[in-house]
Amino acid sequence: MRGVTLFDTALGRCGVAWGPGGLLGVSLPAPDEARMRARLARRAGVEPHDEAQTPAPVAAAIEGVRALMAGEKRDLADVALDMSGTGDFERAVYAATRAVPPGRTASYGDIARAIGAPGAAQAVGRALGANPWPIVVPCHRVTAADGALHGFSAPGGLETKRRLLVIEGALPRGLFD
Active site residue 14: no
Phi, psi of 69 (to 5 degrees): -70, -15
C-alpha 53: how far from chain center: 22
- Please tell me which residue in 30, 79, 139, 154 is annotated as part of the active site: 139
Phi/psi-derived region of residue 116, left when phi > 0, alpha when psi is between -120 and 50, beta in every other case: left
Other Cβ atoms less than 10 A from the Cβ of 5: the count is 21
In angstroms, the CA 35 to CA 19 distance is 20
Which positions are catalytic?
Answer: 139
